[in-house]
Amino acid sequence: MLKLDNVTVKYGKYAAIRDVSLTVEKGEIVVLLGANGAGKTTTFRTISGLNQLAGGKIIFEDLEIHRKSPNKIVEMGIVHCAEDRKLFPQMSVQENLNLGGYVHRKNKQQIKNSMKEVYDLFPILYEKRDDPAGSLSGGQQQMLAIGRALMAKPKLMLLDEPSIGLAPLIVEQMFESIQQINKEGTTILLAEQNANAALSIANRGYVYENGKIVVQGSSQELFENEEVRKAYIGA
């Protein structure tokens, strides 16, 4: 479904990621593991068209997408749910969701249906639909960020560190929701530092180090990999 072929991205002269190749098949959950600054976020920003490539190519459903503008990429079905739960804090929950459905704005019925699906998935958002997004708790904000991404009806969702800064119990719920979203037909590419939780729901994974992929394999393989255990699981 998505294929990165020897992708290199530079910030000035500094290469943030070098020769990254990865694939995501339809229906999978694929996780990118790695420390801060290893290149996970850069990879996401590049897939969604916010960064330019210095080399390589990105193919989504047999089409090269790396020269397309970010809004075209969203229209094609890749939605990026950014790190730090970036919301529009003064706008209400509902308005945030509405903006999430921007690419389908002409199809009012679909927007309505998607919104209902999001509220079914995260009932708390329905209760708070008229509250400003900035007044929500961390976990609720993350739900809204994911909900807003779902409004665009993505085929592939890029989830950047959804567990960051959340309480353990909430993290568990979050990963359950992600699994739920995946079951309903959205392919998911997930960046995480919480390797334990991420590998428990993922099919496969890639491990980043200094802008390169150093290890890859199925969740089971990564879980059993000695180095990965040392670096990211801590046992």
Partner 1 sequence: MIFSNKRIIIPLLIVVALLFPFIVPNQYYIYIMTLSFIWIIAVYGLNIVAGYTGYLSLAHAGFFAIGAYSMGILTTKVEMGFWLAFILSPIITMIIGLFIGLFALRTKEHFFAIYTLCVGYIIYLVIDKWESLTGGVRGLIGIPPLPNIGPIELSDPIYRYYFVLLILLLSIFVIYRIINSLVGRTFTAIRNSENLALALGISTTVNKLLAFVLSTFFAGLAGVLYAVFIRFLGPEISSTIIMFDLLTFLIVGGIGTFAGPVVGTLLIVWVSQSLQFLEEYRMLVFGPILTLMIIFSPYGIVGLFKNISAKRKVKKVKVPIETEKGA
**Residue 100 lies near partner 1 (rule: CB under 8 A):** yes
Instruction: Figure out which of the listed residues 6, 21, 52, 69 binds partner 1, where binding follows CB under 8 A.
Output: 69
**Residue 74 lies near partner 1 (rule: CB under 8 A):** yes
Which stretch in 34-42, 71-79, 213-221, 227-235 sits in contact with partner 1 by CB under 8 A?
A: 71-79
Q: What would the two tokens of residue 39 be?
A: 């290149």
E-strand ranges in the chain read 2-11, 14-24, 29-33, 55-60, 63-64, 78-81, 156-160, 187-192, 204-209, 212-218
Q: Least CB distance from residue 212 to partner 1, whole Å?
A: 25
**Residue 95 lies near partner 1 (rule: CB under 8 A):** yes
Closest CB to partner 1 among 66 and 80? 80
CA nearest to 44, candidates 96, 81, 97: 81
Q: Least CB distance from residue 227 to partner 1, whole Å?
A: 33
Which stretch in 29-37, 92-100, 166-174, 196-204 sits in contact with partner 1 by CB under 8 A?
A: 92-100
Closest CB to partner 1 among 6 and 90? 90
**Residue 102 lies near partner 1 (rule: CB under 8 A):** yes
One-letter amino acid for residue 176 of the chain: E
Instruction: Figure out which of the listed residues 24, 32, 33, 82 binds partner 1, where binding follows CB under 8 A.
Output: 82
**Residue 88 lies near partner 1 (rule: CB under 8 A):** yes
Instruction: Figure out which of the listed residues 55, 70, 138, 165 binds partner 1, where binding follows CB under 8 A.
Output: 70
Strand order in the sheet with 204-209: 78-81, 156-160, 187-192, 29-33, 204-209, 212-218
H/E stretch holding 227 reads helix 226-228
**Residue 108 lies near partner 1 (rule: CB under 8 A):** no
Q: Are strands 2-11 and 204-209 parallel, antiparallel or unpaired?
A: unpaired
Which stretch in 32-40, 45-53, 186-194, 218-226 sits in contact with partner 1 by CB under 8 A?
A: 45-53
Are the C-beta atoms of residues 209 and 222 closer than 8 Å to each other?
A: no
**Residue 115 lies near partner 1 (rule: CB under 8 A):** no
Alpha-carbon distance 227 to 3, whole Å?
Answer: 26
Q: What would the two tokens of residue 68 be?
A: 């397309």
CA nearest to 208, candidates 38, 16, 14, 5: 38
**Residue 50 lies near partner 1 (rule: CB under 8 A):** yes
Site residues (CB under 8 A) for partner 1?
Answer: 48-50, 69-71, 74-75, 79-80, 82, 86, 88-91, 95, 98-100, 102-103, 105, 148, 152
